[in-house]
Amino acid sequence: MSICKKRAFEVLERISFERIAGTDKELEAANIIKAECEKYGVEAHLESFEIDMPEVISASLEVLSPTPWKINCVGIGKSGNTDECGVEGPLCYIENAMDANILDVAGKIVLATGRISPEQMKKIYDKGAKGYILVAGSLYDPEEMIPEIRTGNARKKADEDYNLPGVIIHITDAEKLLRSYPETLRLCLKQDGDKKGTSHNVVARIEGTEKKDEIIAFSAHFDSVIYSSGAWDNGTGSITIMELMHYFLANPPKRTVEFIWCGSEEIGLIGSKDFVEKRKEELNKYLFNINVDMTGVLLGFEIAVCSCEEAVAKYIDYLGKIEGFPISTRVDMYSSDSSSFAIAGVPAVTFARIQPRGGAEIHSRRDAMKYLDPDAFIKTVEFMAKFSDNFVNAKVFPVSREMPKQLAERMEQMKKMFEQSKKKEEKETK
């Protein structure tokens, strides 16, 4: 038996619990994965790394007038602090914070419903805003999901640190807030933004029979976010590469295959960044990264996003047609661990089975086993096994390390963000 949907879903069942980066639960999942490798005779080990884990001690948001009202909120890590009295001011709705949205924010608490870039956030601060409110969730969430707000960290450039306290509220409350025409709001936030935690990658390998020093790296993140079992995102990716490991146990590979279950992907691809950083002197041995972020959803469709030369996208497209496996491909960066490899110069691809509009959801209690299907799952694994086998056992490894021009700009942006967070870490450790 090489690949097996029943075994895979049993493992999935066992790791489907909240696995937030840096928590004991993330470590527990890491140990389950490690034990699962060792059970089949594959040596596996954990690699630890430090992460930011800002601790919000208290956060509150209330309307003071005309009608007093307390709004449920969570504090934004590393945004800022207020004293016990908090900051007070009128509300200013700035939508998605374009320049024309933020003309009149001085002395106010701003509410944004779009994603704000670090540059725009700094402008809001420079113009004299006192605090900010972001939103999460959907207007169609049932009542019980309204308190389940996932927190996040402030988006600041590494060389900037300023105090602008921020909170996140549910979008239902944002609508209620605007419709109530509030006069004055008060926002209080107390946090320790410098707290650190420890997260882990799990690394296993099967040595190549002929070319030990040429490595194909399979990766999938196994951390999840608060209120989510992370069954789909990314329990399914985790069991996909586990089954690929079984495939190569049954079919000994010519080149070495390595399997990396990455921690802390959800807070900025931290696990995969650490993996490539620790191996920066030997990255030339890493020929290719095959990453998986979400498979096995019943209602869905297959994609492959190639952060490498276009020939790979074309090849996947052809192989899909030849095998009767519908998959659409493109050359792009993807917000998953493949980006860490690509930025380090290793050609990379992410495979995913994603949802149609109105389908399964991630990052909330809606990410659950009941939307997944072993038959949909195993089709992806079979296709990936075929694809991977061709590369792992290729007579001449075909993928060049040249990155296409069309990726250059996005890659440069991501690279800058990476370097900035590295600089920041260095500054902090000094």
Under the criterion CB under 5 A, does residue 233 sit at the interface with Zn ion?
yes
Which residue lies nearer to Zn ion by CB, 291 or 329? 291
DSSP H or E segment with residue 51: strand 44-52
What DSSP state is assigned to residue 233? I
Under the criterion CB under 5 A, does residue 201 sit at the interface with Zn ion?
no
What is the sign, positive or negative, of the torsion defined by CA atoms of 5, 249, 28, 355? negative
- Contact indicator for 403, 310 with CB cutoff of 8 Å: no
Under the criterion CB under 5 A, does residue 223 sit at the interface with Zn ion?
no
Rounded least distance, CB 112 to Zn ion, Å:
24
**Tokens 């470590």 appear where?**
27
> Binding to Zn ion (CB under 5 A): which residues in 274-313?
293
Under the criterion CB under 5 A, does residue 120 sit at the interface with Zn ion?
no
Which residue lies nearer to Zn ion by CB, 25 or 123? 25
- Stretch in the footprint of Zn ion (CB under 5 A) among 190-198, 206-214, 234-242, 247-255: 234-242
Which residue lies nearer to Zn ion by CB, 131 or 230? 230
Which residue lies nearer to Zn ion by CB, 234 or 295? 234
The Cα 360–Cα 99 span in angstroms is 35
DSSP H or E segment with residue 360: none
- The closest alpha carbon to 339, from 389, 291, 282, 372, belongs to 291
Under the criterion CB under 5 A, does residue 373 sit at the interface with Zn ion?
no
- Stretch in the footprint of Zn ion (CB under 5 A) among 109-117, 177-185, 229-237, 375-383: 229-237
Which residue lies nearer to Zn ion by CB, 310 or 361? 361
**Residue 386 Cα distances to 165, 221, 241, 270, 319, angstroms:** 51, 22, 13, 30, 9
Q: Rounded to the nearest 10 degrees, what angle do helices 237-250 and 374-392 cross at?
A: 50
Please state the length of the chain. Answer: 430
Under the criterion CB under 5 A, does residue 219 sit at the interface with Zn ion?
no
Which residue lies nearer to Zn ion by CB, 233 or 373? 233
Rounded least distance, CB 231 to Zn ion, Å:
12
Under the criterion CB under 5 A, does residue 234 sit at the interface with Zn ion?
yes
Binding site for Zn ion (CB under 5 A): 233-234, 293
